[in-house]
Homo-oligomer: A and B are copies of this chain.
């Protein structure tokens, strides 16, 4: 089984696709750029969604649901926004099919042409702000803190499961505020929630920063991002939170009567993470044996494998172990298959990234112990059966921490400084990873660097120091280093 995966060294892209397929996470579909999320992949998404949903609710947000379709004219109302999305959207033009009079199956019924075309939402700012106009009258209606879990469609030319697909699942928060300060605080707070989720649950270290003007969301005044580093040295934008100023309020004429009795435009944020996170999760931790999952997001945290096969005596002990784990909220599977050999099963569970495997044979039971294998380091060790629940619980915490520490040290090893273009290119070509360098702050330089090296400014880190320097490209003055990388 494991042998069927291409190694990272041989072909990183193929390794990723192999894991997606062989771990049962997703499948291609007959619809260009759309994937089928298989039960195991969807179970990971459910864990992510439930945790994020909890964090959003704890910070005062509620969920709602807005239409899938957006009237074409809405898209044009915010100038930058339309520029960002009109070129990659699915357009509904008709509402009916009919039998082909020539007998060739079904054709679009020309009589059923829509008066105005509908766009399948690429994101929902426009339809939501059109709705907020009716919901917001006075400062008493603010803030409005709404999130939506939904599917969206962007007609991408090059797609890759989870990382970039035509249809994807996501959450999009859309909040409305009475002051600029409050909206900016909201965008920053959600940025922090995203970083906390990435690090504490995905065990994926992220850099928190702001996007350059050029890399901002279409229609935003400020875009905060969390940027992660994948094992091929490329960066992944994992979540963004936008301060939208009054752009959408003005485009859709959303005003409120302030507590000083003045009519003002509303201030906005929007923010989202998507099934792309699953791609990040895979590429942060997995290895040449398959998927590696942090325990907090693993649908099954522990698998118990009777050795060499299930029998009543072993199953009795397996059930007891499972009960002790379940008592602690640990999800556990007992392998009841009596056809395949243990070696085959071990490879299978490694492929699926189950954090802990417990092997249980007759001699183990005689010795009042079991053999525990951790997926992250592949170490095996005997555990006494007394108090197995607590021991496994401690082990799962340790795996979670180890994965984070490992990813952090990978990132540290792959974060370099460059003081000139020669160094910059050398790092990108030979080592990859984040490159910290001075930049003169102009879009012109940013675009030239991108053109020449394919590296983009991932972000201006929130904790970047103010320091004098010269731009690696233009030689002009710079006041801060920024973070470059080639990216997904």
Contacts and interface: CB of A to CB of B under 8 A. Distances in A.
Interface in A80-123: 82, 86-98, 105-106, 108, 117-120
Interface in A124-157: 127, 130-131, 134-135, 146, 150-151, 153, 155
Given A30-B130, A90-B69, A131-B27, A82 B106 contact: yes
A412 interface: no
A35 B39 CA distance: 30
B67 A134 contact: no
A95 B76 CA distance: 16
Given A73-B105, A92-B91, A46 B63 contact: yes
B118 A67 contact: no
Given A27-B134, A117-B108, A131-B27, A86 B76 contact: no
Nearest to A45: B65
B42 A75 contact: no
A221 interface: no
Given A95-B91, A96-B86, A31 B71 contact: yes
Given A71-B31, A72-B106, A106-B76, A64 B87 contact: no
A170 to B, nearest CB: 12
A94 B93 contact: yes
B91 A75 contact: no
A96 B106 contact: no
A487 B82 CA distance: 44
A213 interface: no
A93 B64 CA distance: 29
A43 B64 CA distance: 8
A13 B472 CA distance: 69
Interface string A234-267: 0000000000000000000000000000000000
A118 B31 contact: yes
B167 A68 contact: yes
Nearest to A91: B94
Contact of A96 (B87, B93, B120): B87
A40 to B, nearest CB: 8
A405 interface: no
A462 interface: no
A70 interface: yes
Contacts of A96: 86-89, 91, 155
A89 B93 contact: no
A456 B293 CA distance: 53
A132 to B, nearest CB: 10
A64 B91 contact: no
A67 B31 contact: yes
Interface residues of A, number: 62
Contacts of A74: 30
A89 B97 contact: yes
A31 B73 CA distance: 12
A43 B69 contact: no
Contact of A93 (B29, B46, B91): B91
A211 to B, nearest CB: 25
A38 interface: yes
A185 interface: no
A219 to B, nearest CB: 16
Contacts of A381: none
A487 to B, nearest CB: 24
A68 B131 CA distance: 24
A447 interface: no
A36 interface: yes
Given A36-B131, A67-B36, A120 B106 contact: no
Contacts of A86: 96-98, 106
B106 A30 contact: no
A488 interface: no
Given A63-B46, A64-B37, A146-B39, A97 B69 contact: no
23 contacts: A29-B66, A29-B67, A31-B118, A34-B69, A36-B67, A37-B65, A46-B63, A68-B153, A69-B90, A72-B105, A75-B97, A75-B106, A86-B98, A90-B94, A91-B94, A91-B97, A91-B108, A92-B92, A92-B120, A97-B119, A120-B120, A150-B151, A151-B151
